[in-house]
Amino acid sequence: MARANAAYYATRDPFADFTTAPEISQAFGEILGAWAAVVWQSMGRPDPVILAEAGPGRGTLMADALRLIGRVAPDFARALRLDLVENSPRLRQLQQVAAGPLEATWHDCIEALPDGPLILLANEFLDALPIRQFRRVAEGWLEHHVEHGRSAWHASGPPPGPAGRRPMPEGSCIESCVPALELVDWLCKRLRAQGGVALFLDYGPGEAGYGDTLQALKEGAPCDPLAAPGEADLTAHVDFPALSEAASGVRVLGPVTQGRFLERLGLFARIERLVQALPQGQGGALVEAGHRLTDPVRMGTLFKAMALCHPSLASLPGFEEPGFRDTAA
Ligand code: SAH
């Protein structure tokens, strides 16, 4: 359904249509940098280690993370090699600028990352991957197709992955993101064999469900997903429960809400430090940005954090709560 997205990212400035967490507050990327440094310690300080980001956008998250890592974790800064997964040549140029003097290597897909222990960050990457939509009917399943710009539903097999096994009433719609399921499958094998962690932040439900979540944004406003292929940003909610269920051989942490995750990592302590460095009375916008990321009615609850990691990593910062799933047994 959402294949038009490759054309969209290759030709347009997505940040005219939406704002992501790293663009809202520099503290977001900074505390993810600190998170990566702590995780590197728990991994036994491998040298070299691959610090990778999937879909870095303008490179803001990684620039903020690297600046903090350079200051507070110089050993990690020396050990890391930077690998960025990005298929838009235009965005690669912006990421080059953001990486500064650090040498980065770009890849078209995650499977092309070099071998070795891995710390992968991905913010709002999974929601950009194409989904397939299905409808439950008395006779079985229909799949949503687009033919000459028009919607059509054709008889099909069940939705691929865990979504296809969910009980749901007749007439309802459910989505399957095959590239995300394949990514999880690849990462599980990779993390199990070579060590490391993958952290995903994105929006989507924490509990298994169903529904039509495909949305299109053009110039900041919602529009018909079929109206202007390649000109609007197409996204769908990330089915975290399906990805968790699809994982095997690794530890799955979360999903937890972004609000709780960021608060546990000390987002507001970091913002307080930034505010203190400003002239008196000028920190209001920084605090407001923190609330935008964490308040339940804004980005705090809809967005989730979920990590996959090697089974030897008992816990990771931000996920300190009962309820992790160990699929390594
Ligand atoms: N992480 C950034 C940008 C999110 S937008 C932020 O938080 O601001 C999605 C990003 O993923 C863009 O950089 C887009 O070009 C990239 N992307 C989307 N689909 C991709 C794919 N299939 N392979 C590689 N990169 C992809």
Q: Which residue from 87, 217, 233 has its CB within 8 A of the most atoms of ligand 1, so it is best to mutate?
A: 87
27 — pLDDT class (breaks 50, 70, 90): very high
- 17 pLDDT band, cuts 50/70/90, is low
For the chain, give the percent of residues with pLDDT over 70. Answer: 94
Residue nearest atom 5 of ligand 1, based on CA coordinates:
57
What is the rounded CA–CA span in Å between residue 234 and residue 328? 34
Question: What is the percent of the chain where pLDDT is above 90?
Answer: 81
**pLDDT at res. 3:** 46
Please indicate whether residue 128, judged by its CB atom, sits closer than 6 Å to ligand 1: yes
Higher pLDDT residue, 54 or 314?
54
CA-based nearest residue to 55, from 123, 134, 154: 123
Task: Return mean pLDDT, the chain.
Answer: 93
**pTM (two decimals):** 0.94
Q: Which residue has the tokens 């008889």?
A: 155
Cα atoms found within 13 Å of the Cα of residue 314, Cβ hemisphere only? 0
For a mutational test of ligand 1's pocket, the pick from 9, 24, 92, 238, i.e. the residue with the most ligand atoms closer than 8 A to its C-beta, is: 9
29 CB within 6 A, ligand 1: no
Within 13 Å and on the Cβ side, how many CA atoms surround 217? Answer: 18
ω into 74 cis (within 30 of 0):
no
Q: What confidence tens digit (pLDDT) does each residue in 191-203 have?
A: 999 999 999 999 9
For residue 183, what pLDDT is reported?
98
Crossing angle of helices 60-72 and 89-99, rounded to 10°: 20
**Which pairing describes strands 118-123 and 140-147: parallel, antiparallel, or unpaired?**
unpaired
- Residue that the structure tokens 């090697």 belong to: 310
271 — pLDDT class (breaks 50, 70, 90): very high
User: Residue of the nearest CA to atom 21 in ligand 1?
Assistant: 87
Query: And the tokens for 53?
Result: 């980001």
pLDDT in tens, 154-171: 999 999 999 999 999 999
Question: Which pLDDT score, from 0 to 100, does residue 326 have?
Answer: 55
Peptide bond into 46 cis (omega under 30): no
* Residue 25's pLDDT band (cuts 50, 70, 90): very high
Residue 123 phi, psi dihedral angles, 5° rounding: -110, 125
Q: What are the pLDDT digits (tens) for 290-300? A: 999 999 999 99
C-beta 91 within 6 A of ligand 1: yes
